[in-house]
A and B are shown apart, each in its own frame.
Chain A
Amino acid sequence: DAGITQSPRYKITETGRQVTLMCHQTWSHSYMFWYRQDLGHGLRLIYYSAAADITDKGEVPDGYVVSRSKTENFPLTLESATRSQTSVYFCASSQTTGGFLTDTQYFGPGTRLTVL
């Protein structure tokens, strides 16, 4: 019962580099989400996906790119990392029935990203 996993758990990179954070879920949930969590802010939605090949922007999408070719994977790419993208990133998924509005979101363990 792997659930939802993220990799890497910790990442240090330099300004301007491309970074990809991976998210994998084993439940076949339709919806998947990427959030960032910073001190003084609640979790903020970056992007979400309702199904394979369907993605949409959240509250803070600038500087990020997502793709979803398979239901179980939802990678997040920082095309050219900036210091302001230093954060903890959480991936989440939810079941199909009722969609995210009524269903619980299950969160991964998070990736702590530091951009120097």
Chain B
Amino acid sequence: KNQVEQSPQSLIILEGKNCTLQCNYTVSPFSNLRWYKQDTGRGPVSLTIMTFSENTKSNGRYTATLDADTKQSSLHITASQLSDSASYICVVTPRKSTASKLTFGTGTRLQVTL
């Protein structure tokens, strides 16, 4: 069964610090990998999407990297802000699949404090 594992489960950092979230997947071959941000009580919002041939994608202070050989992706947040407090979800789409095959990770809950 295709799986997406995220680590750590939760993380607390001080405002202004950097952090890196991890996503390991077993889905292969895959079409794309996405990172979503989900604020408490809200729906997920897309941060980045990378195809299998891309290594990195940035969106402001968010930078996602992808290593297809090791089946790992990371989301790096630079100079964190209180508004970065949220859950971050990794989603992998298998190649040539239907919508039912999208695999969601359980997310990393990030808390940014003063």
Contact residues in A for B107 (Cβ distance below 8 Å): 42
Among B44, B45, B89, residue most surrounded by chain A Cβ atoms (within 10 Å)? B44
The digit string for B62-86, where 1 denotes a CB below 8 A from any CB of A, is: 0000000000000000000000000
Q: Which of B43, B98, B99, B103 contacts A109 (CB under 8 A)?
A: B43
Q: Are B89 and A100 in contact (CB under 8 A)?
A: no
Contact residues in A for B4 (Cβ distance below 8 Å): 42
- Give the nearest-CB partner of B99 in chain A: A48
- 16 A-B pairs, CB-CB below 8 angstroms? A31-B99, A41-B106, A42-B103, A42-B107, A43-B44, A43-B89, A45-B100, A56-B100, A57-B100, A100-B102, A101-B93, A101-B97, A102-B31, A107-B44, A107-B45, A110-B41
Smallest beta-carbon distance B92→chain A, Å? 11
Q: Are B32 and A110 in contact (CB under 8 A)?
A: no
Asked if B21 CB lies within 8 Å of chain A CBs, one says no
CB-CB nearest 5 A-B residue pairs:
A107-B43, A42-B104, A43-B104, A104-B46, A48-B99
Contact residues in B for A100 (Cβ distance below 8 Å): 93, 99, 102
Contact residues in B for A48 (Cβ distance below 8 Å): 99-100
Q: Are A45 and B102 in contact (CB under 8 A)?
A: yes
Asked if A68 CB lies within 8 Å of chain B CBs, one says no
Interface residues of B (CB under 8 A from A): 4, 31-32, 34, 41-46, 49, 51, 89, 93, 97-100, 102-107
Q: Are A110 and B100 in contact (CB under 8 A)?
A: no
- Give the nearest-CB partner of A60 in chain B: B100
Q: Are B98 and A56 in contact (CB under 8 A)?
A: yes
Which residues of chain A from 54 to 89 have a CB within 8 Å of any chain B CB? Answer: 56-59
Contact residues in A for B97 (Cβ distance below 8 Å): 101
Among B43, B100, B107, residue most surrounded by chain A Cβ atoms (within 10 Å)? B43
Q: Are B99 and A45 in contact (CB under 8 A)?
A: yes
Contact residues in B for A59 (Cβ distance below 8 Å): 100
Contact residues in A for B100 (Cβ distance below 8 Å): 45, 48, 56-59
The digit string for A93-116, where 1 denotes a CB below 8 A from any CB of B, is: 000000011101111111000000
